[in-house]
Amino acid sequence: MSFPVKKFFSYYKPYLAVFIATLACAFIATAAALVFPLLVRYITKDVLAGDLTQALSKVYEIGGLALLLVVIQNAAYYFMDYKGHEIGARMESDLRAELFSHLQMLSFDFYDKQKTGQLMSRITNDLHLLSELYHHGPEDYIKSLVRLIGSFFILYSINAPLTIAVFCFFPILGCLAFYFNKRLNKALRRNKERIGDVNAQVEDSLAGIRVVQSFAGERTEMEKFNRENQRFLDSRIHTYKTEAVFYNVFETLLQLITLTVVFYGSVNIVHQQLDLADLITFLLYIGFMIEPIQKLAHMSTQLQEGITGFQRFMEIMNLKPTIENKPEAIVLPEVRGAIEFRQVTFRYGDRSNDVLSNLSFRVQPGEFIAIVGPSGAGKTTLCSLIPRFYDVSDGEVLLDGVNVRDLELTSLRSNVGLVQQDVYLFDGTVLDNIRYGKPEASEEEIIEAAKHANAHEFIMSLPFGYHSEIGQRGVRLSGGQKQRLSIARLFLKNPPVLLLDEATSALDNESESIVKESLDKLAEGRTTIVIAHRLSTIRSAQRILVLTEDGIVEQGTHHTLLARDGTYANLYAKQFEYQT
């Protein structure tokens, strides 16, 4: 991937004025610092070596000047430290918001492949490293350049041959930095992928901790974790080895520079081409240059880490949501709830076989239909095509006669309500969770919805009623209670189309009957498609579609299908046998 330079720099735009001010401060502070060795040289060579009666006033003058430089230097450093970090933090926050907002837009097929831990790693580690580069990078380069160029000219004016001898080392240092940069870049990228894998593993194991413990699977989880942890460790050790070689080769060369100055300078003093004050000045400036050169190594790491972070950030940002609004998407003013599948064929992205093939059926507004069929026949998939969680591979899905692909996504999805077996509740209060169905709902509306969903009573028995915290994913509630909250959410949302995907399958008989009662209430007057394994729960459906891998093989009411003695009658008989 070529590096998107323009995009990279565009993040400075909102803070350009302050950013330029911090760079100016970096320049001023470094330039002020450059003057100090010159002052030392002036004092030792000109002031103290000359007429000492005049010396004192000059020492005071230089002392005053030095003090002024100290004040200027530190005021500039203060501004740089404070504002530079502030800009970095703000840019990081902007990038994080942009990434999070983009992640919200990406379609289901992206999340089918992506690990949450990897994404967390991008949102936290990568962006932090990137912000370090954003605010420290340019500032460090300016400081280093001013030091190196300034020192070169000052030293050149003192002793040209010695200066050239010292600077001859620099191209070697440059080549070395270039070579190791490449290797470090690769190593750091691998580190990031590995820590992402560790995070993904931790996330997976902890999210499923109840399953882990119920299967006594702690050892298996430990083994999986150790494997990822070891891979991360190996990768880091490899990086440290590369870094250690790099820094130490660098260090050796730096020491060689100092030695060159000491020996070559001493020879020059013997030949009276240099005096002691000049040699001291040289050594002071060498000390001054060593920092930027040493930093060059760190800066290249910082540059590589930041660039890798940015590339990983852009990898996600460049992903286009596969499900998007068309330029002139239609907003349906009032949805009646007619659904039609017209010769729909669907296959998941990376699968070779069609899950649904050439499927056609219609559902009238307000009709209550059920879809039954063997596991894996594609019932859930079929439902997910209505709110356009996935796009059909061929054919059309229509809502009120309009292809769902032509509808504005928010308007489509706000008209379709989905209740699944696996209810997802957010960390927060009961009130917050129900309000998710209609953010602007008043407390009265929420209570009304909870009453419709048969949830009011149990909510009132919680320690803080509607203000009780339900824990992450609603762990402090029973399955039936969670389901009733999700139904209350839909009473508020009030969609004309309802999809109930195994909504009561995980519940015991008693909770099932309470939840079913509230679902029946919810379904009143809405187009409802129910997927159910327990066929006893859908006997009252106006129409039952039997979906197998050959498509819809039968349809009719419970009684007509039983009378046909076909697939449905078979499925029913099997369940009846199983239950008795």
Binding residues for ligand ATP, per CB under 6 A?
112, 348, 351, 355, 375-381
Cβ contacts of 156 within 8 Å, gap of 6 or more: 163, 164
Nearest approach, Cβ of residue 3 and ligand ATP (Å): 33
- 418 closest CA partner among 507, 528, 544, 566: 528
Nearer to ligand ATP, 79 or 390 (CB): 390
Residues 449, 452, 457, 462, CA torsion sign: negative
Q: Are 244 and 250 in contact (CB under 8 A)?
A: no
Nearer to ligand ATP, 109 or 432 (CB): 109
Token duo for residue 118: 């990897």
Output b/e per residue, 266-280; b: 16+ Cβ within 10 A: eebeeeeebeebbbb
Gap between the Cα atoms of 474 and 430, Å rounded: 9
Q: Helix, strand or coil for residue 556?
A: strand
Nearest approach, Cβ of residue 498 and ligand ATP (Å): 17
Gap between the Cα atoms of 570 and 559, Å rounded: 13
Q: Are 316 and 102 in contact (CB under 8 A)?
A: yes
Length of the chain equals 580
Nearest approach, Cβ of residue 118 and ligand ATP (Å): 18
Token duo for residue 135: 């605010």
Nearer to ligand ATP, 104 or 375 (CB): 375
Nearer to ligand ATP, 380 or 557 (CB): 380
Nearest approach, Cβ of residue 533 and ligand ATP (Å): 6
Nearer to ligand ATP, 339 or 477 (CB): 339
If one counts every other C-beta atom within 10 angstroms of the C-beta of residue 451, the result is 15
Nearer to ligand ATP, 279 or 571 (CB): 571
Strands 394-399 and 356-363, how do they pair? unpaired
Nearest approach, Cβ of residue 478 and ligand ATP (Å): 22
Residues 239, 240, 241, 245, CA torsion sign: positive
Q: How many CA atoms lie within 13 A of 293 on its CB side?
A: 29
Nearest approach, Cβ of residue 349 and ligand ATP (Å): 7
Nearer to ligand ATP, 242 or 381 (CB): 381
- The torsion angle over the Cα atoms of residues 242, 246, 249 and 254, rounded to 10 degrees, is -160
Nearer to ligand ATP, 238 or 347 (CB): 347
Nearest approach, Cβ of residue 111 and ligand ATP (Å): 9
Q: Are 193 and 309 in contact (CB under 8 A)?
A: no
Nearest approach, Cβ of residue 501 and ligand ATP (Å): 7
Nearer to ligand ATP, 286 or 383 (CB): 383
Nearest approach, Cβ of residue 370 and ligand ATP (Å): 13
Nearer to ligand ATP, 379 or 456 (CB): 379
Token duo for residue 4: 């998107």
> What's the CA angle centered on 301, arms 298 and 305, to 5 degrees?
140
Token duo for residue 112: 């089918």
Q: Helix, strand or coil for residue 268?
A: helix
Nearer to ligand ATP, 355 or 359 (CB): 355
Gap between the Cα atoms of 297 and 254, Å rounded: 12
* Cβ neighbourhood burial of 368 (10 Å; 0-12, 13-18, 19+): buried
Nearer to ligand ATP, 185 or 483 (CB): 483
Nearest approach, Cβ of residue 357 and ligand ATP (Å): 12
Q: Helix, strand or coil for residue 580?
A: coil
Nearest approach, Cβ of residue 381 and ligand ATP (Å): 3
Secondary structure tally for the chain: helices H, strands E: 20, 10
Cβ contacts of 574 within 8 Å, gap of 6 or more: none
